[in-house]
Structure 1
Amino acid sequence: MMKKISSIITLLFIACTMILGGGAAFAEDDPKPTAIAPPNGDLTIHKYLYDADGIDNKPGDGKELKDTTRLDGKEIRGIQFDVYEVGNPTEAYKDAAPKVVPGGDGWTYTKIDETTLEVSKGTDTYRYDLTKKSEDTKTSNDGEIVLKNLSRGYYFVEENLAASTPEMSKDDGKTWAGVQITTPVKSFVVAVPMTDPENLNNWITDVHVYPKNQGTEVVKEPSKPSVNVGDEFSWSIAVELPVDIKDYKKFVITDILDESLTYTTDSVKIYRAEKVGDKWQKVGSGGELVRDTDYTLTEPGLDEKGGTLEVKLLGSGFAKVDGWKGLIVEFNTTVNEKLEGKEVNIIGNKATVEFTNSHDEESERETDESEVNTGDIIVDKKDENDKNLPNSEFQIARTDKEAKDEQFIKIKTITVEGVRRITEFVYPTLEDGTTVNPDYKDAEDWIVKPHSTKDANYFAKFEGLQTFSVEDDVYMSYWLVETKAPKDYNLLGDPVEVNFKDSEEVEGKKTYNLTTDPIVNHKGFTLPNTGGIGTMLLIIVGIILVGMAIILNMNNKKKKA
């Protein structure tokens, strides 16, 4: 009996051992939370570029995101992050600074040098020792940097754009393209390991952070792609603002205007901007920011062609634009006579934006070249044998009707270094198309003499014309009228339409010059001259015939008698 009982006890012991052993194995897969920090941990830095329209500003919790759609961006490779271990307070702060690096809202972290970190909030400032833990570490194709087996502690992470070569994969997923990042992310401090925010008596040993860059887009555009000499039109400079713009120390927009542009005084307006699709659009009336209160404005001189325009935000301006996705600076210019001295009929222009963030990190962004063009019409005058025919005169009109009514485009001019330059076109009617233009009667005739020796009273071509209408989405047409024919030739009699849709490059330059199909004149009929010898012979023959008739008539009367 005792032997049987002993066997049962042995079996129960073995069963209990197996059950307890299985429980222990299960516990190893799901360890019990502990308040004691592990001695080591890993840090993974994920790098994204985000669109300010999509960011939700939700703070990270140290855990890896299984779904990264909320980041609303793309991974960037080639970004270098410098990681430093934060040590004890420096000698000067060892009695005042907390032993644990303070963190949370309002604290900023600034690297004073390679061995010193400054931590500040309001009037509280402390300094800690730094030891660099990474060397030339850049994000991989997945946009990641992984630092393994870091000792327990606090780590200062700083984005090093100067040493970075940022690239982002294209939509095909195979090729890469460079991406311009003007503003680094705010430097930050992270604990490794860190307390699990969802389980406050546990630790996260694999810490993930997602610092995201904002691509600061800057775009300059004219209100029209093509204008006439003398036209006033507007330019807009759209700037995507960093989300922490209120903390910035410098924001300056500079535009050096082309000499073919004359700035319109007091025309600057600053608008709040939102991006709709791929275009920045103005929001509001443009009166939110006040000159000399929220920003300073430096304008070109009153008589200066070209010149420099500068807009600089002031302290209250930074506060007012906080929360704006972007802003648009808009101003007006007029195309002046210097365009006619250019080898090409293109007015190119760029703007530059300079930033300095709260950590005194400077960056600069330049817009792409924006262009406005004008067109020329060169009249190619030929005879019947396809030879150049000089000494004809042409004028030009906006419409076929105005051409037939001989209501041609007239001009205002000035003489620059002995050369006559057009400053303004004068039309027979005002913008409504019906009201007579009071300036038209006294304006100068615009006459072109093709293939003729240059004369101060004439032009070699029609120049400075608008080539495209944005409002009507069409290329512009003009009507040429021959107002004087060469000697021994007939006038054309009808207007000739010229459309800039058929314009082409001349000598490899994008001049928008247009040479019409050869305009051919034919010689007129030869008419006899009155009072010449032919007329005298007719008179003599007539007298003889009349005399002969009289003599015959007298002879007939004598016979009858």
Structure 2
Amino acid sequence: MNKRKKWVGKLALSIGVLTMFGTTGVGQISVMYAADQNINNNAVSDDTSNRSITLWKYEIKSTADLGDRGDGINPDPSKAPDLDGKKLMKDVNFEIIKVKAIGTASLTDPLVQTEGTAWETDMSFNKMTGKTDENGKLTFNVGTGKTADGIYLVREIKDVLTNDYTYTDENGETKKINKPMDPFFVHLPQTKRDDTGKLIYDVHVYPKNIVTDTELDKTIEGGKGHSIKAGNDFQWEATTKLPAGLYSNITKEMTITNWLDPIDGINKDLVIDSSKLPFDLFANYFRVKDSIDEELKLKDVEVYILDKNGDLIKLTNEMEYEVTLGGKKISAPNKVEDLTVGAKKEVVVNLTQLGMKKVTVDEDTHLQVVYKVTTDKDFNGTISNKYSVDYLLPGQDPFTDESKGNPEYYDGGFDILKTKEDKSSVLKGAEFYIATSEANAIAKKFLASDGSSYTLKEDGSSTPDLPIGVTYVTAISDDNGKAEFNGLKLNWFTDTDGDGKQDPSVPGEETWAKDRISKDYWVVETKAPEGYELIKDPQKVTVTLGTADDALVELTVVNKKKTDLPFTGGEGTMLIIIIAIAAITIGTVTIMIDKKRRQA
């Protein structure tokens, strides 16, 4: 795999503040540490020294890590400057050009003094390019003697292969830099900051990038797939590793360039002087956006901090975050609920300043937004879901990222056709139950609407009794002889460790390809149409993501007519008995009448 093409969530964000040190460069682009730094006590530049600019590119976590502006001096030229635990950045691309002022322009900041107005390129110098080495170092040796004196513009440039601002991390993976560092001017030689009678011929600068590890991960019930009996509740989880710059407590004077004023919406310099210290600096915004599928009913949204120990800490709506549904703000303690089907639900979670402060207490903190949903009880098919985050850190460009490797929800169904024996006509009124195994079907343990199975008693009740609101999943053939089961759970992965849950990190538990997702069910006919026999054995049906298509019938059930059994003779015997009793009665009455007549 070409690692230069492999993007991941970790991004470098640049901030236009520099720290300066100094050393002697050798060669056009040198990666060797200087043995000493060329600082001359003569205020007049010589015509023998090499002129060079050395960059040390490293990452910081937030604006608070900027430190003071540098002075071009390297405290210990025999080694890399003290990084205080910070990481240097490899393979960051830079270019350097020589410039000259137009008229009386004073060149101090290329963000303020623009090309064509304040300065133009000095064509006597050929542009130089290079990239930082494994130590985050890049030296530009611009020449020897007075002809090399002047002002140089240094700027970060795009990588020629990826056409983007990039660096290489400690794992050898190419990462994207969201915003390159601001360009800057360097005088060669440079006047020593604390002793203006001295000149520095080898100037070190320390450009910084704020590196944010905003890894986005969307899961469903903790995995990358899920399936239950449709109509039951489940949840999606949007988990984001938070950037470190959402909140910073500034204790030193500094100026943040390219800061978006939240009041007037204008980009400007934010000057933090001693009168403002300590200063709480917040990101302009941090938002999580999700578009809930039209087939889902949204029941609630909850927001948590997932700390470095894996513990969830619930945040409070309207205090630490705000949430809108379809652009309408949901106020606590109202549930974020929309039980309609047929339209997407746009949900936005926005951290407040109080929330930003709370989530940046510890490093490696994640924000988890939980969307509690359900589907219609007869839903069939696949639902995929992704989400995005966007935020604006102080002095940065707006950043947006979208989750990848998104999870999916699966349900399936199938059709039954009930026909007469000759298959020439259909039968109405046949009733079917469904079981998750043949053993369950034989034991009359049938699937219910909550996804569990319950044993059916002789009187039609269940053992144990069905929970309140739960019913058996049944189907009855209609006038067209058709019955159907919908919204059935499917199998989508191999549970290699037997814990009942998918763990994508466990080998073999990856989500199956769509054509493998399926599950076997057994159909039992519990009531036959009038005049017809029941089928005697459970009928197996394999349900897939495609079997719910009404154009196909997965199970045809043929009913045989009841047979005409011979007469038992029972009706003729009864008639003889009745005639005999009548004859005896008549005879008795006749004898009594005759006896009375004789007596008379």
Tell me the TM-score normalized by structure 1.
Answer: 0.56
- Within the candidate set 255, 274, 296, 1:261 is matched to 296
* Cα separation, partners in 2 of 1:51 and 1:481, compared to 1, 3 Å: farther
User: How much has 1:30 moved relative to structure 2?
Assistant: 7.6
The letter of the residue matching 1:269 is V
- What does residue 333 of structure 1 align with? 372
User: How much has 1:488 moved relative to structure 2?
Assistant: 6.4
* Higher mean displacement: 290-299 or 486-495: 486-495
- Within the candidate set 512, 523, 540, 1:480 is matched to 523
Looking at structure 1, the residues matched to 480 and 127 of structure 2 have their Cα atoms a distance apart, in angstroms, of 70
Q: Does 1:249 align with 2:248?
A: no
* Cα separation, partners in 2 of 1:179 and 1:388, compared to 1, 3 Å: farther
Q: Does 1:111 align with 2:108?
A: no
Q: Does 1:41 align with 2:42?
A: no
Looking at structure 1, the residues matched to 141 and 244 of structure 2 have their Cα atoms a distance apart, in angstroms, of 32
Looking at structure 2, the residues matched to 32 and 187 of structure 1 have their Cα atoms a distance apart, in angstroms, of 25
* Cα separation, partners in 2 of 1:205 and 1:230, compared to 1, 3 Å: same
- In structure 2, the residue corresponding to 1:182 is in which secondary structure? strand
The letter of the residue matching 1:226 is H
- In structure 2, the residue corresponding to 1:318 is in which secondary structure? helix
- What does residue 219 of structure 1 align with? 217
User: How much has 1:268 moved relative to structure 2?
Assistant: 1.4
Looking at structure 1, the residues matched to 436 and 561 of structure 2 have their Cα atoms a distance apart, in angstroms, of 33
Looking at structure 1, the residues matched to 159 and 218 of structure 2 have their Cα atoms a distance apart, in angstroms, of 26
Looking at structure 2, the residues matched to 71 and 464 of structure 1 have their Cα atoms a distance apart, in angstroms, of 53
User: How much has 1:32 moved relative to structure 2?
Assistant: 8.3
* Cα separation, partners in 2 of 1:238 and 1:183, compared to 1, 3 Å: farther
- In structure 2, the residue corresponding to 1:325 is in which secondary structure? coil
User: How much has 1:258 moved relative to structure 2?
Assistant: 0.9
* Cα separation, partners in 2 of 1:172 and 1:84, compared to 1, 3 Å: same
Kindly indicate whether the alpha-carbon contact (under 8 Å) linking 2:97 and 2:154 is maintained by their aligned counterparts in 1: yes
The letter of the residue matching 2:486 is F
* Cα separation, partners in 2 of 1:379 and 1:264, compared to 1, 3 Å: closer
Identity of aligned pairs, percent? 16
- What does residue 591 of structure 2 align with? none
User: How much has 1:435 moved relative to structure 2?
Assistant: 6.4
- In structure 2, the residue corresponding to 1:483 is in which secondary structure? strand
Looking at structure 2, the residues matched to 258 and 249 of structure 1 have their Cα atoms a distance apart, in angstroms, of 29
Kindly indicate whether the alpha-carbon contact (under 8 Å) linking 2:299 and 2:373 is maintained by their aligned counterparts in 1: yes
User: How much has 1:71 moved relative to structure 2?
Assistant: 6.7
Q: Does 1:438 align with 2:437?
A: no
* Cα separation, partners in 2 of 1:43 and 1:387, compared to 1, 3 Å: farther
User: How much has 1:396 moved relative to structure 2?
Assistant: 1.7
Identify unmatched segments of 5+ residues in structure 1. Answer: 1-28, 102-108, 117-127, 275-280, 412-423, 540-561
Deviations 1:300-341 (A, max 9, x none): 57434441111222333333333543422322322222983x
User: How much has 1:364 moved relative to structure 2?
Assistant: 1.4
The letter of the residue matching 1:321 is V
- In structure 2, the residue corresponding to 1:264 is in which secondary structure? strand
Kindly indicate whether the alpha-carbon contact (under 8 Å) linking 1:490 and 1:522 is maintained by their aligned counterparts in 2: no
- In structure 1, the residue corresponding to 2:354 is in which secondary structure? helix
Looking at structure 2, the residues matched to 84 and 291 of structure 1 have their Cα atoms a distance apart, in angstroms, of 54
Deviations 1:397-433 (A, max 9, x none): 346565344343344xxxxxxxxxxxx768649xxx9
* Cα separation, partners in 2 of 1:528 and 1:242, compared to 1, 3 Å: closer
- What does residue 5 of structure 2 align with? none
Tell me the TM-score normalized by structure 2.
Answer: 0.53
Q: Does 1:353 align with 2:358?
A: no
**Matched residue pairs, number?**
432
Kindly indicate whether the alpha-carbon contact (under 8 Å) linking 2:167 and 2:177 is maintained by their aligned counterparts in 1: no
Which structure 2 residues correspond to residues 72-87 of structure 1 after superposition, within 5 A? 75-76=90-91
Kindly indicate whether the alpha-carbon contact (under 8 Å) linking 1:375 and 1:512 is maintained by their aligned counterparts in 2: no
User: How much has 1:169 moved relative to structure 2?
Assistant: 7.4
Identify, as 1 or 2, the structure richer in helix: 1
Looking at structure 2, the residues matched to 295 and 161 of structure 1 have their Cα atoms a distance apart, in angstroms, of 37
- What does residue 491 of structure 2 align with? 467
* Cα separation, partners in 2 of 1:86 and 1:253, compared to 1, 3 Å: farther
- What does residue 164 of structure 2 align with? 165
* Cα separation, partners in 2 of 1:203 and 1:362, compared to 1, 3 Å: same
Identify unmatched segments of 5+ residues in structure 2. Answer: 1-34, 248-280, 327-335, 456-461, 503-517, 574-600
Kindly indicate whether the alpha-carbon contact (under 8 Å) linking 1:426 and 1:440 is maintained by their aligned counterparts in 2: no
Higher normalized contact order (CA 8 Å, seq sep 6+, divided by chain length): 2
Looking at structure 2, the residues matched to 67 and 448 of structure 1 have their Cα atoms a distance apart, in angstroms, of 78
Deviations 1:243-267 (A, max 9, x none): 33325222222111111222223x3
Looking at structure 2, the residues matched to 31 and 529 of structure 1 have their Cα atoms a distance apart, in angstroms, of 115
* Cα separation, partners in 2 of 1:187 and 1:478, compared to 1, 3 Å: farther
